[in-house]
Structure 1
Amino acid sequence: MECYKIIEQIQEIINSSSKIPFSNKVVIDQAQILDLIDELLRLLPDDLKKAQRIIEERQQILIEAQKEGEMIIKEAKNHIEKMVNQEEIIKLAKEKSEQILSYAKQTAREIRAGANDYADEVLSQLEQHLEKVLETVRKGREELNQKR
C-alpha cells in the first residue's frame, strides 16, 4: 500500500531532522511534511476501496458456496428419485445424499470461515494502517500547534 510508503517517508524526515539542543524536539520542513500528509489523505480512499472490494469478494465467495451446496443437494435429490423402485439402491442413495449434503455443508462452512478470516485479516491490517496514519497526523498537528 502506498500509504505505508508515505508514512515511512514522514518517519524518515522526522528521524533525520536536526534536533534542537537540550530538548526532544526536531526542526522539520513544514511544507515537505504537509505535502506528504496531503498525499496520504489522497491515497486513503484508494485503500478503503480495496478493503471494500475484499468484502465484496468475500460475499461473492459465500454466495457461490451456497449455490454450489444447493446444486449438490438438488443433484442428490434427483439421483434418489431415479432409484425409488429398488429398495437397496434407495438405501444406498439416501446414505450417499446425506454424505454429499454433509460434505456440501462442511465445505460451505469452511469456505465461509476462510473468507471471513481473510476479510478480517485484511480489515485488521487496514485498521492498523489507518491507526498509524492517524497517529502520525496527530503528532504532526501537535508539533505544528506547539510551534505557534
Structure 2
Amino acid sequence: MNSDQGVEFDVQAELNRLEELILDNPRIPFTRKTVVDEEQLLDQLDLIRMNLPRAFEEAVEVLRQKEEILLQAEEYAQDIIEAAQVRAAQLLDEMGIIRQAEMEAAQIRQQVAQECEELQRQTLGEIEQMRMQAMQELEQMRQVVIDECEDIQDGADDYADAVLTRIEQQLTDMLRVIRNGRHQLRGEPQGNSSEESNS
C-alpha cells in the first residue's frame, strides 16, 4: 500500500485501520481467537512505517513556517522600534532622553528574541512528544499483533488436539464393535480379554 503524494497522512487513522483489520477478521470456531491476514497486516504496518518520516517532515515544515512568521514579526517590531527611535530623536531634547529610548528599544528587542526562542523550544518539544507517542503506539500495536498470533497458534493446537482425541475415541469404539462382531461370528463369548488381545 502506498499513500498518494500530496495527501496528508493521518497516523491515528491508519492505526485505527490496523485495529479494525485485527477486530474485523473471522474467529476460530469454539475459541475467542481471530484469524488475521498476515499480508494485509504487514502491508498496513509498512504503510505506517513508510509514512512516519513524511509526517515528521510535515511537522518540521510547520515549525519552519512558524519561524518565518516569527521572523517577520520580529522584523516588523524592529521597523516599529526604528521608527519610534527616529520619532523620539526628532522630539526629545539633548538631556539624555534619546539614550533612554535607545535602551528601552534594546530591551524590547531582547524580549522579542527571548519570546521567539521560547516559542521555538515549545514547538520542538511538541513535535518530539508527537514522535514519541507515535512510536509507543506502534510498539503497542506490534505487541498486540504478536500476542494475537501466539494466541491463535495456541488455540489452533488445542482445537487440533480436541479433534484428534474425538477421532481416537471414535476409532476405539469402532474397534470394539468389530471385535464383538468377530466374537459373535466365531460363537465366542464377548468380553474375553485374552481373545480380544490376540485377535
TM-score, length basis structure 2: 0.53
More helix by share: 1
Note closer, same or farther for the CA distance 1:5–1:45 as it changes in structure 2 (3 Å cut).
Answer: same
Identify unmatched segments of 5+ residues in structure 1.
Answer: none
Residue of 16, 23, 37 corresponding to 1:29 = 37
What's the counterpart of residue 58 of structure 2?
Answer: 50
Identify the residue that residue 87 of structure 1 maps to in structure 2. Answer: 94
Distance 1:48 1:138 in 2: 23
AA aligned opposite 1:127: M
Report deviation, 1:126: 2.5
2:106 match: 101
CA distance in 1, matches of 2:75, 2:136: 38
Give the aligned length: 139
Bigger mean CA offset, 95-104 vs 48-57 = 48-57
> Is this contact kept in 2: 1:61–1:112, CA < 8 A?
no
Which of the pair has the greater relative contact order for Cα pairs under 8 Å at 6+ separation? 1
1:10 Cα deviation after fit: 0.8
TM-score (structure 1 length as normaliser): 0.68
Could you tell me which amino acid in structure 2 is paired with residue 143 of structure 1?
E
CA distance in 2, matches of 1:54, 1:7: 23
Distance 1:125 1:131, change over 3 A: same
Aligned position for 1:143:
148
Instruction: Output the aligned Cα RMSD.
Output: 3.5
Matching residue within 16, 34, 41 for 2:24: 16
Partner amino acid for 2:115?
E
Retained in 2: the 8 A contact 1:10–1:33? yes
What is aligned with 1:125?
130
Q: How far 1:100 moved relative to its partner?
A: 1.0
**Which structure 2 segments of 5+ residues have no match?**
1-8, 155-199
Q: Which residue of 1 aligns with 2:184?
A: none
Q: Which amino acid aligns with 2:21?
A: I
How far apart in 2 are the matches of 1:61 and 1:131? Answer: 32
Deviations 1:100-131 (A, max 9, x none): 11111111111221222122113212221222
